[in-house]
Structure 1
Amino acid sequence: MILNQQFIELGEGFGDVYELCELIQTNSSRLHQSFILAAPTPSGYALSLAVAFKPANTGFFMPVYICREGIIQQGDQKSKRRLLFEEAADKAGSTPVYIELKHSSEFAERNLFFQYVTGILRLNNLLPPLK
Protein backbone atom coordinates (compact mmCIF):
# COMPACT_ATOMS: atom_id res chain seq x y z
CA MET A 1 0.00 0.00 0.00
CA ILE A 2 1.38 3.40 -0.99
CA LEU A 3 -0.22 6.47 0.52
CA ASN A 4 2.23 9.13 -0.59
CA GLN A 5 4.57 9.62 -3.55
CA GLN A 6 6.74 12.70 -3.27
CA PHE A 7 9.55 14.24 -5.27
CA ILE A 8 12.67 15.10 -3.30
CA GLU A 9 14.71 17.57 -5.27
CA LEU A 10 18.48 17.46 -5.21
CA GLY A 11 20.57 20.10 -6.97
CA GLU A 12 21.77 20.23 -10.56
CA GLY A 13 25.55 19.82 -10.28
CA PHE A 14 28.02 16.95 -10.36
CA GLY A 15 27.91 16.51 -6.58
CA ASP A 16 24.14 16.11 -6.70
CA VAL A 17 24.32 13.47 -9.43
CA TYR A 18 26.98 11.62 -7.40
CA GLU A 19 24.61 11.75 -4.41
CA LEU A 20 21.78 10.37 -6.57
CA CYS A 21 24.09 7.57 -7.76
CA GLU A 22 25.03 6.83 -4.15
CA LEU A 23 21.34 6.62 -3.23
CA ILE A 24 20.87 4.11 -6.04
CA GLN A 25 23.84 2.03 -4.85
CA THR A 26 22.95 2.00 -1.16
CA ASN A 27 19.22 1.42 -1.75
CA SER A 28 19.42 -0.92 -4.75
CA SER A 29 17.10 -3.44 -3.06
CA ARG A 30 14.40 -0.73 -2.87
CA LEU A 31 14.88 0.62 -6.41
CA HIS A 32 11.55 0.77 -8.24
CA GLN A 33 12.51 2.61 -11.46
CA SER A 34 14.98 5.13 -12.84
CA PHE A 35 14.07 7.93 -15.26
CA ILE A 36 15.62 10.41 -17.65
CA LEU A 37 13.10 13.19 -18.18
CA ALA A 38 13.82 15.41 -21.19
CA ALA A 39 12.31 18.85 -21.79
CA PRO A 40 12.95 20.68 -25.07
CA THR A 41 14.69 24.07 -24.84
CA PRO A 42 16.14 26.38 -27.52
CA SER A 43 19.64 25.07 -26.73
CA GLY A 44 18.80 21.35 -26.64
CA TYR A 45 17.07 19.11 -24.12
CA ALA A 46 17.14 19.89 -20.40
CA LEU A 47 17.51 16.53 -18.70
CA SER A 48 16.26 15.60 -15.26
CA LEU A 49 17.62 12.44 -13.67
CA ALA A 50 15.23 10.73 -11.26
CA VAL A 51 14.87 7.55 -9.24
CA ALA A 52 11.81 6.11 -7.51
CA PHE A 53 12.27 3.84 -4.50
CA LYS A 54 9.83 1.38 -2.99
CA PRO A 55 8.60 2.28 0.50
CA ALA A 56 10.94 1.36 3.34
CA ASN A 57 9.90 -1.66 5.43
CA THR A 58 6.46 -0.85 6.84
CA GLY A 59 6.31 2.68 5.45
CA PHE A 60 3.75 4.05 3.03
CA PHE A 61 5.99 6.71 1.50
CA MET A 62 7.48 6.30 -2.00
CA PRO A 63 10.27 8.85 -2.56
CA VAL A 64 11.26 10.01 -6.03
CA TYR A 65 14.67 11.71 -5.94
CA ILE A 66 15.33 14.10 -8.81
CA CYS A 67 18.13 16.27 -10.17
CA ARG A 68 15.91 18.67 -12.14
CA GLU A 69 16.92 20.03 -15.55
CA GLY A 70 20.58 20.51 -14.74
CA ILE A 71 21.96 18.86 -17.87
CA ILE A 72 21.60 20.30 -21.36
CA GLN A 73 21.97 17.69 -24.08
CA GLN A 74 22.59 18.71 -27.65
CA GLY A 75 22.32 15.98 -30.26
CA ASP A 76 23.24 12.40 -29.40
CA GLN A 77 26.29 13.25 -27.26
CA LYS A 78 25.63 12.04 -23.69
CA SER A 79 27.06 14.09 -20.84
CA LYS A 80 29.32 12.59 -18.17
CA ARG A 81 26.61 13.08 -15.52
CA ARG A 82 24.07 11.16 -17.62
CA LEU A 83 26.57 8.36 -18.23
CA LEU A 84 27.33 8.13 -14.48
CA PHE A 85 23.61 7.93 -13.72
CA GLU A 86 22.96 5.28 -16.39
CA GLU A 87 25.91 3.22 -15.10
CA ALA A 88 24.69 3.39 -11.48
CA ALA A 89 21.16 2.41 -12.53
CA ASP A 90 22.49 -0.44 -14.67
CA LYS A 91 24.56 -1.82 -11.77
CA ALA A 92 21.37 -1.83 -9.67
CA GLY A 93 19.49 -3.70 -12.41
CA SER A 94 17.50 -0.77 -13.81
CA THR A 95 17.46 0.73 -17.28
CA PRO A 96 16.38 4.39 -17.08
CA VAL A 97 13.12 5.12 -18.88
CA TYR A 98 13.49 8.12 -21.22
CA ILE A 99 10.44 10.41 -21.30
CA GLU A 100 9.96 13.73 -23.09
CA LEU A 101 7.81 16.26 -21.25
CA LYS A 102 7.24 19.98 -20.69
CA HIS A 103 9.91 22.16 -19.06
CA SER A 104 9.24 23.12 -15.44
CA SER A 105 9.33 26.82 -16.39
CA GLU A 106 5.96 26.30 -18.11
CA PHE A 107 4.32 25.85 -14.70
CA ALA A 108 3.45 28.63 -12.25
CA GLU A 109 4.75 26.59 -9.30
CA ARG A 110 7.28 23.79 -8.99
CA ASN A 111 4.72 21.65 -7.17
CA LEU A 112 2.45 21.79 -10.25
CA PHE A 113 5.34 20.53 -12.37
CA PHE A 114 5.86 17.59 -10.00
CA GLN A 115 2.12 16.79 -10.09
CA TYR A 116 2.32 16.83 -13.91
CA VAL A 117 5.31 14.45 -13.90
CA THR A 118 3.62 12.16 -11.36
CA GLY A 119 0.55 11.99 -13.59
CA ILE A 120 2.63 11.08 -16.65
CA LEU A 121 4.50 8.38 -14.73
CA ARG A 122 1.28 6.90 -13.32
CA LEU A 123 -0.50 6.95 -16.70
CA ASN A 124 2.41 5.00 -18.18
CA ASN A 125 2.37 2.54 -15.24
CA LEU A 126 5.87 3.62 -14.19
CA LEU A 127 4.66 4.62 -10.73
CA PRO A 128 1.97 2.62 -8.95
CA PRO A 129 -1.40 4.23 -8.21
CA LEU A 130 -2.06 5.40 -4.68
CA LYS A 131 -4.09 3.02 -2.52
Structure 2
Amino acid sequence: MIQRIIELGKGYGDIYELCEQARVNKDRIHRAFIFSSKKDGKEYHSIAIALKPTNAANFFPIYMCSEGIPNVQPISKRLSHFIETLDELQLKAVHLDIRHSSSFADSELFYQYLIGILRLNHFIPPLEINNYNPIL
Protein backbone atom coordinates (compact mmCIF):
# COMPACT_ATOMS: atom_id res chain seq x y z
CA MET A 1 0.00 0.00 0.00
CA ILE A 2 1.30 3.43 -0.90
CA GLN A 3 0.83 5.92 1.94
CA ARG A 4 1.46 9.52 0.96
CA ILE A 5 0.95 12.93 2.50
CA ILE A 6 -0.62 15.43 0.13
CA GLU A 7 -0.04 18.97 1.36
CA LEU A 8 -2.87 21.29 0.45
CA GLY A 9 -1.09 24.36 1.80
CA LYS A 10 0.13 26.06 4.94
CA GLY A 11 -3.19 26.28 6.75
CA TYR A 12 -4.74 29.51 5.53
CA GLY A 13 -7.62 29.35 3.01
CA ASP A 14 -6.78 25.74 2.19
CA ILE A 15 -8.34 24.66 5.49
CA TYR A 16 -11.75 25.16 3.90
CA GLU A 17 -10.69 22.85 1.04
CA LEU A 18 -9.59 20.20 3.58
CA CYS A 19 -12.93 20.50 5.39
CA GLU A 20 -14.78 20.09 2.10
CA GLN A 21 -12.63 17.03 1.29
CA ALA A 22 -13.71 15.60 4.64
CA ARG A 23 -17.40 16.24 3.94
CA VAL A 24 -17.29 14.78 0.42
CA ASN A 25 -15.30 11.73 1.54
CA LYS A 26 -16.96 11.23 4.93
CA ASP A 27 -17.40 7.47 4.35
CA ARG A 28 -13.70 7.10 3.47
CA ILE A 29 -12.21 8.92 6.46
CA HIS A 30 -9.91 6.65 8.42
CA ARG A 31 -8.82 9.28 10.99
CA ALA A 32 -8.40 13.01 11.48
CA PHE A 33 -5.34 14.59 13.09
CA ILE A 34 -4.23 17.79 14.77
CA PHE A 35 -0.45 17.99 15.01
CA SER A 36 1.35 20.46 17.27
CA SER A 37 4.95 21.56 16.72
CA LYS A 38 7.22 24.30 18.05
CA LYS A 39 9.55 26.68 16.26
CA ASP A 40 11.37 29.62 17.83
CA GLY A 41 9.38 29.25 21.03
CA LYS A 42 6.01 29.44 19.27
CA GLU A 43 3.58 26.57 18.83
CA TYR A 44 1.86 25.83 15.52
CA HIS A 45 -0.84 23.38 14.47
CA SER A 46 -1.19 21.26 11.36
CA ILE A 47 -4.39 19.45 10.50
CA ALA A 48 -4.91 16.34 8.39
CA ILE A 49 -7.35 13.65 7.35
CA ALA A 50 -6.37 10.13 6.32
CA LEU A 51 -8.65 8.46 3.78
CA LYS A 52 -9.17 4.76 3.20
CA PRO A 53 -8.21 3.49 -0.27
CA THR A 54 -10.93 3.40 -2.92
CA ASN A 55 -12.04 -0.02 -4.17
CA ALA A 56 -9.01 -1.81 -5.65
CA ALA A 57 -6.66 1.16 -5.35
CA ASN A 58 -3.57 0.60 -3.29
CA PHE A 59 -3.24 4.27 -2.30
CA PHE A 60 -3.80 5.64 1.22
CA PRO A 61 -3.80 9.47 1.03
CA ILE A 62 -3.28 11.78 3.98
CA TYR A 63 -4.40 15.32 3.12
CA MET A 64 -2.69 17.94 5.26
CA CYS A 65 -2.53 21.68 5.91
CA SER A 66 0.82 22.22 7.59
CA GLU A 67 1.99 24.53 10.34
CA GLY A 68 0.07 27.64 9.40
CA ILE A 69 -2.22 27.76 12.41
CA PRO A 70 -0.68 29.46 15.45
CA ASN A 71 -1.61 28.14 18.87
CA VAL A 72 -3.53 31.07 20.35
CA GLN A 73 -6.20 31.54 22.98
CA PRO A 74 -9.05 31.65 22.29
CA ILE A 75 -8.69 28.95 19.66
CA SER A 76 -8.16 30.28 16.13
CA LYS A 77 -11.14 30.46 13.79
CA ARG A 78 -9.40 28.16 11.29
CA LEU A 79 -8.78 25.42 13.85
CA SER A 80 -12.29 25.77 15.28
CA HIS A 81 -13.72 25.43 11.74
CA PHE A 82 -11.86 22.12 11.31
CA ILE A 83 -13.08 20.86 14.71
CA GLU A 84 -16.66 21.93 13.89
CA THR A 85 -16.46 20.02 10.59
CA LEU A 86 -15.29 16.92 12.44
CA ASP A 87 -18.13 17.33 14.97
CA GLU A 88 -20.59 17.58 12.08
CA LEU A 89 -19.17 14.28 10.73
CA GLN A 90 -19.20 12.76 14.26
CA LEU A 91 -15.40 12.35 14.31
CA LYS A 92 -12.74 13.19 16.88
CA ALA A 93 -9.25 14.30 15.94
CA VAL A 94 -6.16 12.55 17.26
CA HIS A 95 -3.81 15.14 18.83
CA LEU A 96 -0.07 14.53 18.47
CA ASP A 97 3.05 16.55 19.30
CA ILE A 98 5.60 16.27 16.50
CA ARG A 99 8.86 17.88 15.41
CA HIS A 100 8.56 21.02 13.30
CA SER A 101 9.20 20.51 9.58
CA SER A 102 12.04 23.05 9.67
CA SER A 103 14.15 20.51 11.58
CA PHE A 104 14.31 18.35 8.43
CA ALA A 105 16.46 18.93 5.34
CA ASP A 106 13.46 18.73 3.02
CA SER A 107 9.73 18.13 3.10
CA GLU A 108 9.96 14.50 1.90
CA LEU A 109 11.99 13.58 5.01
CA PHE A 110 9.40 15.32 7.18
CA TYR A 111 6.58 13.38 5.49
CA GLN A 112 8.44 10.06 5.98
CA TYR A 113 8.94 10.94 9.65
CA LEU A 114 5.24 11.76 10.04
CA ILE A 115 4.06 8.57 8.31
CA GLY A 116 6.45 6.60 10.51
CA ILE A 117 4.96 8.17 13.66
CA LEU A 118 1.42 7.38 12.47
CA ARG A 119 2.31 3.77 11.63
CA LEU A 120 4.25 3.24 14.86
CA ASN A 121 1.25 4.37 16.91
CA HIS A 122 -1.17 2.31 14.78
CA PHE A 123 -3.08 5.39 13.60
CA ILE A 124 -2.69 4.26 9.98
CA PRO A 125 -2.36 0.69 8.68
CA PRO A 126 1.07 -0.94 8.46
CA LEU A 127 2.91 -0.99 5.18
CA GLU A 128 1.96 -4.10 3.22
CA ILE A 129 4.70 -5.92 1.40
CA ASN A 130 3.39 -8.41 -1.14
CA ASN A 131 5.59 -11.28 -2.32
CA TYR A 132 8.64 -10.04 -0.45
CA ASN A 133 11.74 -12.08 -1.40
CA PRO A 134 14.83 -10.85 0.41
CA ILE A 135 18.17 -11.53 -1.24
CA LEU A 136 20.20 -13.66 1.13
TM-score, normalized by the shorter chain, greater than 0.5: yes
Where do residues 15-94 of structure 1 align in structure 2 (5 Å cutoff)?
15-74=13-72, 76-94=73-91
Percent identity between matched residues is 44
Aligned pair count reads 128
**How far apart are the structure 2 equivalents of 1:26 and 1:50?**
15
Kept after mapping to 1: 8 A contact 2:45/2:70 = yes
Report the residue type matching 1:87 in the other structure: E
Asked if 1:115 corresponds to 2:119, the answer is no
Q: 1:31 touches 1:53 (CA, 8 Å); kept in 2?
A: yes
1:6 equivalenced with 2:17 (yes/no): no
SS of match in other structure, 1:114? helix
- Corresponding position of 2:133: none
Paired with 1:122 and 1:29, the residues of 2 have a C-alpha distance of 21
Decide which structure has greater helix share: 1
Q: Is the 8 A contact 2:11 2:46 kept in 1?
A: no
Q: Are the equivalent residues in 1 in contact too, given 2:11–2:66 (CA < 8 A)? A: no
Given the two structures, how large is their TM-score scaled by the length of structure 2?
A: 0.89
Aligned mates of 2:125, 2:11 — CA distance in 1 = 29
> Displacement, 1:77?
2.7
**Displacement of 1:34 after TM fit?**
0.3
User: 1:91-127 CA deviation, whole Å, 9 max, x = no partner?
Assistant: 2222011100100000001000001011111111101
Structure 1 residue corresponding to 2:127, chosen from 102, 117, 130: 130
Give the aligned residue type for 2:60: M
Larger radius of gyration: 2
Distance 1:122 1:21 in 2: 23
4+ residue runs over 6 A deviation: none
CA–CA separation in structure 1 for the residues paired with 2:36 and 2:57 = 30
Q: In the alignment, is residue 105 of structure 1 matched against residue 118 of structure 2?
A: no
Any unmatched runs of 5+ in structure 1? Answer: none
